[in-house]
Structure 1
């Protein structure tokens, strides 16, 4: 794929230090040109090692990540910006990896075809909400779904056509799609699962098994259920399809009272800690010491060989706390054998 003309950055040494730009583990690669404000999401292409970040500075950035054994390089390739540099809160790829869809505080669903520079460097708008849009995902039916703070799910195609809408009980905080399973977490601790094979149909609506506000949600790769994280550092594992020998449960994955960030990744949190868990065996596979800065988002690449995460202020405490955590970094960790459950594929990919 051909990208824009941003000059590649040279390979950087490990940033694992005790200073303000410490990474979780020795050898982690510091992603260059990570933006001027907090990183709200990091997502990988399903078709290649292309990494997209969205930022509170209004930017949508793309890197090409090159692997050579344990050595990796993240090369900046292109960047677009939402109108008026409005904060961008989430993004997703099309199934072939050629197109990026992004949403944010400008209330717009936007489309960026990689390799093309849009007019004024602002991605094309294909849809809108009445309030800021928190999450976006690509469906197997080649539709885009967006969840907003206007308590709506909206479905779009790339021709700027609204295909349908679904009312949510409250504001959307996060959503995720795996094959035909879509799960949505909203304010008020509501969780709704949908079957998105053909026309989306609600499958189950329930209250979160966790006592506090939901922050993130991720569907299992086998579509039997989902994991939901909340602000008190707990994760709930829930099955929407009955699986023999497996029951829903919850556990505290961060031992301090800190936000959990998960999305399409293992639990990571406001305490600056990344933990990897095997939900099937109910055990922690690996954890890293705290870097004393919020881990705002994280994501595995499609093969599960690379894990991208960001360290930046996530705006959860408002503008009054921004000056305390002005730094923002993206890192890539090469997945090792300790993180892979023996005899089975990782449940977090």
Structure 2
């Protein structure tokens, strides 16, 4: 593999990036959802340092999340129009697809999860009430993690959800586990480990927590949280730390290390097992809003746009929103214990 390189995608969104995701497998397709009411499809050209716009898909309202389905030709979006494939009563914040179980799960600010059977679009979704508004959603091969208001975290077993949906009289199952977040402030992102062992969450208060699914005392003793995405304030302003939200998390599909992106405009790579920061990249011109690794782990996509750290008056992402693609060096994301 060639040394690391970095380039920009052509024709970026005209407003803030809400999410981005690479297609499964070896495909180099990249989907980006935006507050400008569009979803953008890019194709990364191997060896050419290019990410070309293939097409845009206009929506009736801002798009808050996007995911691929069973193939690079299938995608699902969620947004302010209240819809995925069935109508929620409020905006739909998150959407994830489970390839292992052919399930699409959407989470809405109406405090429900909808579980859809993608092999039978005519089947009504299974609605699961939530005790709070969801802020982040992620799936591992067997688990679904829902992070909500009031530090609530529910973990669902995906085979159980699939079984409930296929029953003659579907009933919403109980969570596999109910937890309180290790982070004291609002959750911004959640990402699951590719080896199905656990997950990471991040908050608006410059912290990341790493936890494992196994509910044994030994496993729970391994969980930890740490400070990140903070900058020293000038002495004339009283010193101390300026704390930024950690807006994005993404696990490397091969090595299991993970990237974090913050309102400070930086991206860092972390070794979850060794509990250490591996590297931090040069600061980007705006806040980092979204991150995603390609299916083969070769590329890292980084969505940057103005954040709200300095206020919301006269906000505009036009001309300042950019999609960066980093082609990783051969061992760039390899953790200390990786083979």
Query: Which residue of the other structure, out of 118, 124, 136, is the alignment partner of 2:95?
Result: 136
Change (3 A) 1:323 1:77: closer
Shift of 1:327: 1.1
The 2-side partners of 1:82 and 1:324 are apart by 18
Query: Which residue of the other structure, out of 186, 207, 217, is the alignment partner of 1:213?
Result: 186
Q: Deviations over 1:198-240 (max 9, x none)?
A: 4265111111111111111111111111100000110011111
Taking structure 1 as the reference length, the TM-score comes to 0.80
Unaligned runs of 5+ in 1: 1-24, 110-125
Residue in structure 2 matched with residue 195 of structure 1 by the alignment: 157
Residue in structure 2 matched with residue 103 of structure 1 by the alignment: 78
Q: CA RMSD for the aligned pairs?
A: 2.3
Residue range with higher mean Cα deviation, 307-316 or 321-330: 321-330
Task: Flag as ranges the 4+ runs of structure 1 deviating above 4 A.
Answer: 242-246, 314-319, 323-326
Change (3 A) 1:77 1:326: closer
Residue in structure 2 matched with residue 282 of structure 1 by the alignment: 275
Pairing 1:1-349 to 2, within 5 Å after superposition: 27-47=5-25, 48-68=27-47, 71-83=48-60, 86-109=61-84, 126-139=85-98, 140-158=100-118, 159-199=121-161, 201=173, 202-241=175-214, 242=216, 247-256=222-231, 257-265=243-251, 266-314=259-307, 319-320=312-313, 322-323=315-316, 327-336=320-329, 337-344=331-338
Contact conserved, 1:230 with 1:260, CA < 8 A, in 2? yes
Unaligned runs of 5+ in 2: 163-172, 232-242, 252-258
Contact conserved, 2:188 with 2:246, CA < 8 A, in 1? yes
Q: Tell me how many residue pairs correspond in the alignment.
A: 301
| Larger RCO, structures 1/2 (Cα 8 Å, 6+ apart) | 2
The 2-side partners of 1:339 and 1:82 are apart by 36
Shift of 1:59: 0.5
